Amino acid sequence: MYSVLIVDDEEPVLESYTFLVQEAGEDFTVCGTARSGEQALALAQRSRPDIVLMDIAMPGMDGLDTIKELQRSFPETLYILSTAYERFDLAQRAIPLGVFSYLVKPVSRKRFMETLQQARKHLDQQEDSLTHLLNEAHTNVEILAREEREFLLRITREGLDEPSWLRYQRLFRLNSDQGTVAVVASDEPHRYRQVEHQVDLRFKVICTEHLGMLILFVADRIDPSRLSSLIEESAPNAGVGIGSRRRFDELHLSAREALDAVRDVTPRESRPSHRQEQLTVLRKAVARAQTGTDPCRICEEYWTAVFAEYTFDEAKARMVELFTLLISDLITRAGTADIADTLPDPTIDIAAITNKDDWDAWAGRMLARIVEKYATQVDPQRPRPLQQAIHYIAANYEQPLQLTSLAEYCEVSPGYLSRLFSEHLDTTFNDYLNSVRLDAAEELLRENRLSIKEIAYNTGYQDPNYFSRIFKRLRGLSPTTYQERWIHEK
């Protein structure tokens, strides 16, 4: 069964296409409908469609720009364009995107069904190719291991939708729609390989190591006590958690049960004792950093370990403590509490976070802002108006900013403030503002959560094309190329 996402800003078209897809038989299912490009991007992240029926002319982000953004995450998805008129210039833009087919409204039922069946045939051929690759999988162990790790980490965070499960089921040759998640936590991680070997001899199992733990997915029906005994034979004194057997869309619940069980059987005193030392190293790294990316690895390792060690709410409480400490350190360096006024209150912001992805995005941005504040304290010789200007830009770079209004805020003349930027920072006001904005843009590009247009708007640029030109001029490459290189290197 292939999933279809329908995107059109007209409700009657959405209803008509939905009806036709449902009429096409059991080979297709509608996984969602969207009335804008932004909605389509959000829905696609959840539903991972095989086919996207895309209207070209929509308010805001048009269909072709939406396809361009979608292809970054879903290069194998088929895209079928739908428009009320034929235009050569649109066809020219569509060709490089590899659009599968092109429908002109009003679309006849016959034409619609023919296009859908052609898409099915193409996807079937892709499936055959995947099967062939699976038969050769033993020659490409690295790719298979990466797929296994992605699968295991996904089921610790979320339930799988049917298309994703079917893909994994074919990839790993699983015969059931159910399975059990187990977690092993040991102070002797070298024993994990023996655990894998012992369990693999008796069951169909997928394993990976993550955050000092071994995560296992057992596809076969098992006796939990037998599985626990097998693990304990290879890893004595390890904490073992075994979740209940669940269907694919509830595997995250089995993982949660296993993780909770490990927490219950592993005393807090025996968990990593170097957490306080890590916190000390982290605070020093933030205080010494020149950019927000400098302490990024240390910080990510710290909070990833905390989220693994505690429940989500407990971990959030510790993150409030962490960012409160970082802000307190910043106030001590600045010698005044005023510097914290332009930063969000971590207690309020963190309380509103409901999942790990949102946490990673918020924490990365907050960390960059704190480091930016530290950077303004490095040179005590900077005149107070320049300090005020730098603080204000760091807090409001996403807003329209002009030298005249900033000078008024700092209670100096525009000419004087411009001279301060030149004499003390060896730059102009505009170049400094662009630098701050592009630093923030780089962070959002690395997160890979927003489109280029959305990143432009979120960093103070009302014209995405101008944003791209400025980014290329000052960074030496386009935003898209920067993002692709970051993802590849990561």
Helix, strand or coil, per DSSP, at residue 391: helix
Structure tokens at 137: 């999988």
Of 452, 486, 451, 484, the closest CA to residue 468 belongs to: 452
Enumerate the CATH 3.30.70.2730 domain ranges in the chain, comma separated: 142-267
What average pLDDT is seen over the chain? 81
Amino acid 301: pLDDT: 77
**Quick check: 232 and 186 in contact, CB under 8 A?**
no
Given a cut of 70, whether residue 379 has pLDDT beyond it is no
Q: How far apart are the first and last CA of the chain?
A: 33
Long-range contacts of 228-236 (CB under 8 A, 24+ apart): 230/195, 230/198, 230/199, 230/202, 231/182, 231/184, 231/195, 231/198, 231/199, 233/198, 234/191, 234/194, 234/195, 234/197, 234/198, 235/184, 235/186, 235/188, 235/191, 235/192, 235/194, 235/195
**Region of residue 411 (phi > 0: left; psi between -120 and 50: alpha; otherwise: beta):** left
- Give me the percent of the chain exceeding a pLDDT of 90: 8
Q: Which residue has the higher pLDDT, 348 or 301?
A: 348
The 10s digit of each residue's pLDDT in 121-134 is 888 877 766 555 55
Cβ–Cβ < 8 Å for 285, 326: no
From the list 326, 331, 436, the residue with the least C-alpha distance to 390 is 436
Assigned fold of 142-267? Alpha-Beta Plaits (3.30.70)
DSSP tag of 160: P
Q: Which residues contact 436 (CB under 8 A, 6 or more apart)?
A: 372, 393, 394, 397
Res 136 pLDDT > 70: no
Decide: 74 and 41 in contact? Cβ < 8 Å: no
Question: Side chain identity at 37, as an amino acid letter?
Answer: G
Q: Which of 204-208, 286-290, 338-342, 396-400: highest mean pLDDT?
A: 204-208
The CATH number given to 2-134 is 3.40.50.2300
Residue 138 confidence class, pLDDT cut points 50, 70, 90: very low
Specify whether the CB–CB gap between 420 and 386 falls below 8 A: yes
Helix (H, G, I), strand (E, B) or coil at 310: coil
Q: Which pLDDT score is estimated for 93?
A: 61
Q: Is the pLDDT of residue 458 over 80?
A: yes
Average pLDDT over residues 377-404: 78
**Residue 410 predicted with pLDDT over 70:** yes
CATH 3.40.50.2300 domain locations along the chain? 2-134
Least confident of 17-26, 205-214, 422-431, 477-486: 205-214
Question: pLDDT value at position 180?
Answer: 93
Q: Is 365 or 142 the better-scoring residue by pLDDT?
A: 365
The answer to whether 29 and 1 are in contact (CB under 8 A) is: yes
Contact 208, 148 (CB under 8 A): yes
Yes or no: say if 34 and 82 are a contact pair by the CB < 8 Å rule: no
Query: What is the largest distance, in Å, between two alpha-carbon atoms of the chain?
Result: 78
Mean pLDDT value of segment 254-268: 74
Q: What are phi and psi of 231, to 5 degrees?
A: -65, -45
Higher pLDDT among residues 328 and 406, named by residue: 406
Percent of the chain with pLDDT over 70: 85
**Which numeric CATH code is attached to 275-489?**
1.10.10.60
**Has this prediction a pTM greater than 0.75?**
no
- In this predicted structure, the answer to whether residue 270 has a pLDDT above a threshold of 50 is no
Cβ–Cβ under 8 Å, residues 309 and 210: no
Over residues 201-248, the pLDDT tens digits come to 888 899 888 766 889 999 988 888 888 888 888 888 888 889 999 999
Residue 85 DSSP code: S
Tens digit of each residue's pLDDT (9 = 90 or more) over 6-65: 999 888 889 999 999 988 888 888 999 999 888 898 888 888 898 999 888 887 888 888
Q: Pick the more confident residue, 191 or 86.
A: 191
What pLDDT, on the 0 to 100 scale, is given for residue 370? 85
What's the pLDDT at 272? 44
Whether 351 has a pLDDT exceeding 80, the answer reads yes
Report the pLDDT value the prediction gives residue 364, as an integer from 0 to 100. 83
- 313 pLDDT tier (thresholds 50, 70, 90): confident
In angstroms, the CA 428 to CA 406 distance is: 13
CATH 1.10.10.60 domain residues, the chain: 275-489
Phi, psi (degrees; rounded to nearest 5) at 376: -75, -15
